[in-house]
Amino acid sequence: MLPEEDNKDMWVEKLLDFADKQGQEIRVHVDVQIFAKLICSRLVNQERLDRIALKTFEDWTVQDKKTMQVFKEELRCCIISMDCDFEEISKWVQVLSLPSKIESYIMAGLMEFYESKKFLTPMGAEWLLDLMPTSV
């Protein structure tokens, strides 16, 4: 599931709305365009992510789990779209400035994802990663 080309411009526009730099020209790099939906999701869900970070995993509500699942799925789509290596995606996660507990949770999931990717690469079967559902 790659970020839809038609919606990419919409997410860039929303991202620029958040920036609110009137009178300044902002150029959006193609890599930022790919991450625009994820960045917007991060900004919109600030309070929710802060609340989730205060809970133990066992105390997450259905909505908390859904929020994290959608966030992880969008991150995974960005990775697949850009073919990011682990170091690059780690930097993107840092840019998102997530609460530390959420960042640790995301990074643990990314480590598992990249282990699977490394396993599948010699077989040319990385495309299987796009078929698998994202778990919480």
State the sign of the Cα–Cα–Cα–Cα dihedral 58, 64, 70, 71: negative
- Tens digit of pLDDT for each residue in 37-61? 999 999 999 999 999 999 999 999 9
Of the pLDDT bands very low, low, confident and very high (cuts 50, 70, 90), residue 26 is confident
- The structure's pTM equals 0.83
